[in-house]
A and B are shown apart, each in its own frame.
Chain A
């Protein structure tokens, strides 16, 4: 058995996060697999560099460390994309990560893009006067897609592939914006639950304050994932692990001690977000249709950028 590494602790000696036993991974193996995965995605696509949107949170922070370890920080561009209401602490954390890694960074404020659509101070924007009263969800989705637009533009200017930073937990419950934060060329952490992201982040030396803070999409002030969804990540991760990875039924999960209402709620979230995890269906008309009966690997001889 590999020796268990103690979890990092805060100043009072308390663990920075909770790591359920069944979710603990061998972080050395994970780093090795992910490093090779990143290198191969780039080689097969004919790229040498990566760009990613760095929020200051643990997911994008961890991916920055993974990319830097895999291909070197000089080949990574982190783009920080705050809106005017974004938390200044997030910005500071993102800067701390960039400084620690020694990678390139850019600051692109998306405020003008977002306000240009929704309007501001009673002055309508491109979205018309109705958009002045847009809901937080509409604004949040628009911000995620504005960031996506910028990061794909920077992909051209820096000549790097866009690296995804979404984790398995948020993907499974659909806590993502289609074509927004889930848009990427490849994703190195999309098969890691949030608890495993924390474990790996701790093993890689991601700054402690980034690991310890409450996860947030930071789409409006003081928003937190767990506050919004009324769940705790370790509990949700365990539930998803037993449901998805270990194929336990609802009744079996309840027997294991999960609350039935929570199990059923999470199952609904997973089912209703299935569309977000798949390529949209194309109406089958011709003899051979991409994704149906035209099945080629994404990368093969001749598919790399030259």
Chain B
């Protein structure tokens, strides 16, 4: 399925002056552990996107390796100077692309990484900060968490913020990226579909939750949100796709179908960010110093280094809630567990 929109010549080697941007969402089905095969597919789709006039091409989380890697992670890991990565970076002349892989650092930590490459150079590498290790996820066992969350300047003329899947399930991610200058927030994902309850709006609980998150982030950060989620099957889990572009007012611009592989073109006007931020100056009104102050206080209190003024009476240092309920003086003493 394609929506070609108004035609524009491919932007080979030129600086973007228009505020119109054609985004290509590469909703792929990576083959688990098959790095060379996935790399070849990335090259094909990158060329197809370029030929289609895309200025930004986005591939899903671990699109170069597949998701459910376990001990395979070390075998498909790449240093940033790996020739296979370099071949893809080189192929980004005249276009911006985000692709994702297992990065091995110089000290041999493995990260789930996503790079922004433009005009043949890596502009930014985001290392997944939040590694879900609960329920069906086991990422922290195999990967190290990133420690940096930064927006990157881009040839697109606006800052780009990259987040990987679970990063978006933490409020600060979208906020920090937007405050750091991102006007386009990219979330690349390998989200396993689950909960088929018929009461769900779209028949899939995961999709309903994600859609709520993305609309909220777009609205509250008055930024574009570009979500690219993979499809296909690793072991037991099926990834649901449903990639989307949400405008800075929280309105969806485009929703890709669930489960189908495809390269989807979406035209947006980056000027919409300005319009929305003028009309709804939420970012202008953010209180960074207040937030920093309160966070500093909470950090000290959690570490037991300051008295917690908001804690229950009887709470241990660092814990806001007392383990045992306070016992009224006229009541016989017995242990009562608190409700929570």
| A contact residues vs B (CB 8 Å cutoff) | 1-2, 4, 21-22, 24-26, 28-30, 32-33, 36-37, 40-41, 44, 294-301
Beta-carbon contact of A37 and B196 below 8 Å: no
Beta-carbon contact of A296 and B71 below 8 Å: yes
| Beyond A24-B199, A32-B259, 9 extra complex contacts between A and B, CB < 8 Å | A21-B199, A25-B203, A30-B196, A32-B258, A40-B232, A295-B70, A299-B235, A300-B33, A301-B33
Residues of B within 8 A of A298 (CB): 235
- Bound-state Cα–Cα, A44 to B199, Å: 33
- 1/0 per residue, CB under 8 A from A, across B146-159: the answer is 00000000000000
Residues of B within 8 A of A22 (CB): 197
Beta-carbon contact of B198 and A36 below 8 Å: no
Interface centre among A24, A32, A301 (most CB of B within 10 A): A301
- Bound-state Cα–Cα, A296 to B196, Å: 28
Beta-carbon contact of A296 and B72 below 8 Å: yes
B32 interface residue per 8 A CB criterion: yes
Beta-carbon contact of A297 and B32 below 8 Å: yes
B238 interface residue per 8 A CB criterion: yes
- Bound-state Cα–Cα, A206 to B69, Å: 37
Assuming the contacts A28-B203, A32-B259, A33-B259, asked whether A297 and B72 have C-beta atoms less than 8 A apart, the reply is yes
In the assembled complex, how far is the CB of residue B136 from the closest CB belonging to chain A, in whole angstroms?
A: 12
Beta-carbon contact of B198 and A2 below 8 Å: yes
B234 interface residue per 8 A CB criterion: yes
Beta-carbon contact of A36 and B238 below 8 Å: yes
Beta-carbon contact of A294 and B71 below 8 Å: yes
B229 interface residue per 8 A CB criterion: no
Beta-carbon contact of B32 and A300 below 8 Å: yes
Beta-carbon contact of A29 and B235 below 8 Å: no
- Bound-state Cα–Cα, A22 to B68, Å: 30
Beta-carbon contact of B238 and A297 below 8 Å: no
- 1/0 per residue, CB under 8 A from A, across B223-253: the answer is 0000000001111001000000000000000
- 1/0 per residue, CB under 8 A from A, across B107-132: the answer is 00000000000000000000000000
Beta-carbon contact of A33 and B72 below 8 Å: no
Residues of A within 8 A of B238 (CB): 33, 36-37
Residues of A within 8 A of B234 (CB): 297
Beta-carbon contact of B33 and A26 below 8 Å: no
Beta-carbon contact of B204 and A26 below 8 Å: yes
- 1/0 per residue, CB under 8 A from A, across B12-33: the answer is 0000000000000000000111
- 1/0 per residue, CB under 8 A from A, across B64-81: the answer is 000011111000000000
- Bound-state Cα–Cα, A295 to B197, Å: 31
3 closest A-B pairs by CB: A26-B203, A40-B233, A29-B203
In the assembled complex, how far is the CB of residue A40 from the closest CB belonging to chain B, in whole angstroms?
A: 4
In the assembled complex, how far is the CB of residue B20 from the closest CB belonging to chain A, in whole angstroms?
A: 34
- Bound-state Cα–Cα, A33 to B231, Å: 10
In the assembled complex, how far is the CB of residue A300 from the closest CB belonging to chain B, in whole angstroms?
A: 4
Q: Which residue of chain B has the shortest Cβ distance to A300 in the bound complex?
A: B33
Beta-carbon contact of B197 and A297 below 8 Å: no
Q: Which residue of chain B has the shortest Cβ distance to A295 in the bound complex?
A: B70
Residues of A within 8 A of B198 (CB): 2, 4, 24-26
Jot down 10 A-B pairs with beta carbons below 8 A, ordered by A. Answer: A4-B198, A24-B198, A29-B196, A29-B258, A32-B258, A36-B238, A36-B259, A294-B71, A297-B235, A298-B235
- Bound-state Cα–Cα, A33 to B258, Å: 10
Beta-carbon contact of B259 and A297 below 8 Å: no
Q: Which residue of chain A has the shortest Cβ distance to B237 in the bound complex?
A: A37
Residues of B within 8 A of A40 (CB): 232-233
B34 interface residue per 8 A CB criterion: yes
- Bound-state Cα–Cα, A36 to B69, Å: 20
- Bound-state Cα–Cα, A25 to B200, Å: 9
Among candidates B32, B70, B199, B233, residue contacting A1 with C-beta atoms closer than 8 Å: B199
B82 interface residue per 8 A CB criterion: no
Residues of chain B from 55 to 97 with CB closer than 8 A to chain A in the complex: 68-72
Among candidates B33, B69, B197, B235, residue contacting A24 with C-beta atoms closer than 8 Å: B197
Among candidates B68, B203, B204, B258, residue contacting A297 with C-beta atoms closer than 8 Å: B68
Residues of B within 8 A of A26 (CB): 196-198, 200, 203-204
Residues of A within 8 A of B69 (CB): 297
Residues of chain B from 165 to 206 with CB closer than 8 A to chain A in the complex: 193, 196-201, 203-204
Residues of A within 8 A of B199 (CB): 1, 21, 24
In the assembled complex, how far is the CB of residue A272 from the closest CB belonging to chain B, in whole angstroms?
A: 25
- Bound-state Cα–Cα, A296 to B233, Å: 16
Beta-carbon contact of B233 and A36 below 8 Å: yes
Among candidates B32, B71, B193, B258, residue contacting A299 with C-beta atoms closer than 8 Å: B32
Assuming the contacts A32-B259, A33-B259, A297-B234, asked whether A1 and B34 have C-beta atoms less than 8 A apart, the reply is no
Assuming the contacts A296-B71, A297-B32, A297-B33, asked whether A33 and B232 have C-beta atoms less than 8 A apart, the reply is no
In the assembled complex, how far is the CB of residue A189 from the closest CB belonging to chain B, in whole angstroms?
A: 12
In the assembled complex, how far is the CB of residue B281 from the closest CB belonging to chain A, in whole angstroms?
A: 36
Beta-carbon contact of A29 and B204 below 8 Å: yes
